[in-house]
Amino acid sequence: MSKRSSFDIKKKILELVKSPKTFAELERKVNTGFITIKENCEELEKFGFVTIKKISKHSANGKPYFEVKITEQGINFLKSQ
C-alpha cells in the first residue's frame, strides 16, 4: 500500500468538514493519527480553508475539544479540484 500524500489528506479533510467535525472524528474517518490530523488542519487554517474552534466542554464527557469547519475559501478550492 502506498503512502498517501499530504495533499490527499488535506483534500479528504476538506471534503469531510462541510459540517463541523472534531479532530477525533477526522482521525477515524481519514484513517490517520491525531497529530497528522491536527497539523494538517492547522495548515489548512493558515491558508484560510478551515476554521478551528476550541469548545471548552464536550456534552458527553465534559472535556474540551476542537471543532473544524470549512470556510467559503475552502469550498471554492474544493470546487476547483
**pLDDT tens digits for range 22-56:** 999 999 999 999 999 999 999 999 999 999 999 88
Q: How confident is the model at residue 59 (pLDDT cuts 50, 70, 90)?
A: confident
Phi, psi of 74 (to 5 degrees): -65, -40
Q: What is the CATH number of the domain that holds 25?
A: 1.10.10.10
- Give the pLDDT confidence of 61-74 residue by residue, as tens digits: 888 889 999 999 99
Range of the domain at 36: 6-80
Statement: the pTM of the whole predicted model exceeds 0.95: no
Closest CA to 67 of 78, 79, 45: 45
Indicate whether 55 belongs to any domain.
yes
The total number of structural domains in the chain stands at 1
Cα–Cα distances in angstroms (integers) from residue 72 to residues 18, 47, 49, 65, in the given order: 10, 12, 7, 23
What is the pLDDT at residue 45? 97
Indicate whether 47 belongs to any domain.
yes
Indicate whether 38 belongs to any domain.
yes
Indicate whether 1 belongs to any domain.
no
What is the pLDDT at residue 2? 62
